[in-house]
Amino acid sequence: MSHYPNLAKNYGPTPFDAERGEGVYLYDTKGKRYLDFSSGIAVNALGHGHPLWVKAVQEQAASLVHCSNLFGIPSQQRLADRLIERAGSGRILFCNSGAESNEALIKLARLHGRERAGGKEGQCYGVVCADNAFHGRTFGGMAATPQEKIQGGFRPMLDGFSFGILNDIKSFENAIDASTAAVFIESIQGEGGVFPADTGFLKELRALCTERGVLLLLDEVQCGIGRTGHFFAFEKSGVQPDAIGMAKGLGGGFPIGAIWMAESCAELYQPGSHGTTFGGNPLACAAAHAVLDAIEQDQLLEHVQTVSVEWHSELKQLVESFPATVAEVRGEGFMVGLALKKHMAEVVSVARDKGLLIVPAGHETIRLLPPLIATAENLNESVQILKAVLSELA
Ligand SMILES: Cc1ncc(COP(=O)(O)O)c(C=O)c1O
C-alpha cells in the first residue's frame, strides 16, 4: 500500500501502480497481471485497448479534440440520435461525469417544480431519493446521498431532499408532498451494495409520480449502457422514466456523461439555463460512438445476458460452499454483488493477490463488474479465484 506525498489524501493508500491494460486484463508496474472485474468502477465497457475504440479515439484526436458547445458538433448530434433510439423520443444534454449528469437531473427537477408552481421559484423543488443511494460527490449528488461518510464535513446540504426506502412504495407515497418536484433513484443501487429496484416497485413508482405530477428520474450512471445485458437496467420493467442520467460505460474510459429527457420535459432547458465547456466534445463523442458500435456489432447485450446465466449460478454455489462467509448473490448481468457475512476487506485483497480485481461496496458486499467483452472462460476464472480466496479465509 502506498500514498504519493504530493497527492491530496482524499483517496486511501493504493495497493499497486497501474501501467497498462489489454482486454480483460490490467497490468501493474511490476508486470503482474490482474483479471480486471473492477473495470475502472463500471467504466471500461469494452475492457482495455479495444481496437475499435482505440482507432476511433486516435483518429478523432488527430482531427478535432475540442471546440466547445459554441459550435455545432455533428458527432454529438449523431450520438444524441443513437441515445434517443435507445431511450425514446426526447432530447439529450451532454456533460462529463455521473455527478454532472445527476446535477442536470436535479436542475431539471427544479425547472419542472417552478413550472408546476406557476413560474414561482422556491415553492416546489423537493426531490425524493432512496435511502442507501449514491448519486455522486457534488453538492446536488451529496444531498441525494444520505450517507454520513459522503455528507460528513460538508453540511449544510442543499435544501429539499427527502428519502424513501427502496422497494417500499408506501415510504415514497409518504415522502412526496406538495413541494415535491421529482423522485430520483438508481435503477440498481451500486455503491450501496447492488440492490435492484424491483419491477413491481418501479411500476408503482411510475404510477405514483404520474398521479402526483412529479418527475421520475433514474440514475443509470453505473447500471446503464449494457451492464445488465439491457441497454438501460430499467428497460426490463417496461417503465418509462421522465429522464435518465448516464455516464461511466458510455465513454468506455473517456469521460462523458449525458441525460435523456422525455419530450414532455425537454423544453424546460432553454438557452442559457445550463452549460458546460467540455461536455460532449468531439473526442468524448468518438469514444462513446465506439462503445455503441461495439455493443451493436459484437451483440454485447445478448452476450451479457447469455453468459451471465451460468456465471450467476456458479456464484450462487459459493453461498452453499461457504455459508459462513457468503450470504447471497444480488444483481443482474455483469453487475453482481456478493454479500458477505465477514472478511470483506480480506476477500478484496486476497483476490487481488491471486490476480482478480473486484470492488468493495456498502453492506459488506463485493462487486464484480466485468467488462462487457468478458467471455464465459473469464467469468469462470473469476469464480475459481474467488473459491480459492474463500477457502484460504475459511
Ligand atoms: C449511481 C451513480 N451515480 C453517480 C455516480 C457519480 O459518478 P462520477 O463519479 O462519474 O461523478 C456514481 C459513481 O460511482 C454512481 O455509481
Q: What is the mean pLDDT of residues 5-30?
A: 97
Q: Write out the three cell numbers for 173.
A: 407515497
pLDDT classification of 330: cutoffs 50, 70, 90: very high
Share of the chain above pLDDT 70, in %: 100
Q: Is the pTM of this model over 0.75?
A: yes
- The whole-number pLDDT of residue 2 equals 76
d(CA 36, CA 117): 49
Location of C-alpha cell 469514444: 287
| Residues 300-319: tens digit of each pLDDT | 999 999 999 999 999 999 99
Nearest-10 Cα torsion for 180, 183, 184, 190: 130
| Residues 336-392: tens digit of each pLDDT | 999 999 999 999 999 999 999 999 999 999 999 999 999 999 999 999 999 999 999
Average pLDDT value for the chain? 98
Q: How many angstroms does the Cα of residue 136 sit away from the middle of ligand 1?
A: 5
Q: What is the mean pLDDT of residues 110-129?
A: 98
**Is ligand 1 within 6 A of the CB of residue 222?**
yes
Residue nearest to atom 3 of ligand 1 (CA): 135
- The whole-number pLDDT of residue 151 equals 98
CATH 3.40.640.10 in the chain: give the residue spans: 53-297
Q: Identify the weakest region by mean pLDDT among 4-8, 150-154, 160-164, 178-182.
A: 4-8
Q: How many angstroms does the Cα of residue 42 sit away from the middle of ligand 1?
A: 10
Per-residue 3-state assignment (H helix, E strand, C coil) for the chain: CECCCCCCCCCCCECCCEEEEEECEEEECCCCEEEECCHHHHCCCCCECCHHHHHHHHHHHHHCCCCCCCCCCHHHHHHHHHHHHHHCCEEEEEECCHHHHHHHHHHHHHHHHHHHCCCCCCCCCEEEEECCCCCCCCHHHHHCCCCHHHHCCCCCCCCCEEEECCCCHHHHHHHCCCCEEEEEEECEECCCCCEECCHHHHHHHHHHHHHHCCEEEEECCCCCCCCCCCCCHHHHHCCCCCEEEECHHHHCCCCCEEEEEEHHHHCCCCCCCCCCCCCCCHHHHHHHHHHHHHHHHCCHHHHHHHHHHHHHHHHHHHHHHCCCCEEEEEEECCEEEEEECCCHHHHHHHHHHCCEECEEECCCEEEECCCCCCCHHHHHHHHHHHHHHHHHHC
Q: List C-alpha distances in Å: 103 to 136, 191, 227.
A: 9, 18, 22
**Is ligand 1 within 6 A of the CB of residue 191?**
yes
Residue partners of 369: CB distance under 8 A and separation at least 6: 37, 38, 39, 41, 42, 227, 334, 335, 336, 358, 359
> Does residue 95 have a pLDDT over 90?
yes
Choose one of 221, 254, 276 to mutate for the ligand 1 pocket test, by most ligand atoms within 8 angstroms of C-beta.
221
Residue nearest to atom 4 of ligand 1 (CA): 135
| Residues 265-283: tens digit of each pLDDT | 999 999 999 999 999 999 9
CATH 3.90.1150.10 in the chain: give the residue spans: 299-393
Residues paired with residue 330 on neighbouring β-strands, in sequence order: 337
| Residues 191-209: tens digit of each pLDDT | 999 999 999 999 999 999 9
Q: Determine how many CB atoms are found less than 10 A away from the CB of residue 264.
A: 12
| Residues 40-71: tens digit of each pLDDT | 999 999 999 999 999 999 999 999 999 999 99
Architecture of domain 299-393: Alpha-Beta Complex (3.90)
**Is ligand 1 within 6 A of the CB of residue 103?**
no
Cα 55 from chain centre: 25
d(CA 152, CA 196): 26
- The gap between the terminal CA atoms of the chain, to the nearest Å, is 24
- The whole-number pLDDT of residue 3 equals 81
> Does residue 101 have a pLDDT over 80?
yes
- The whole-number pLDDT of residue 1 equals 78
- The whole-number pLDDT of residue 275 equals 97
Dihedral over Cα of 241, 236, 188, 137: its sign = negative
What CATH class is the domain 53-297? alpha beta
Q: Identify the weakest region by mean pLDDT among 3-12, 112-121, 136-145, 197-206.
A: 3-12
Residue partners of 294: CB distance under 8 A and separation at least 6: 45, 46, 50, 52, 53, 252, 300, 373
| Residues 139-149: tens digit of each pLDDT | 999 999 999 99
**Is ligand 1 within 6 A of the CB of residue 160?**
no
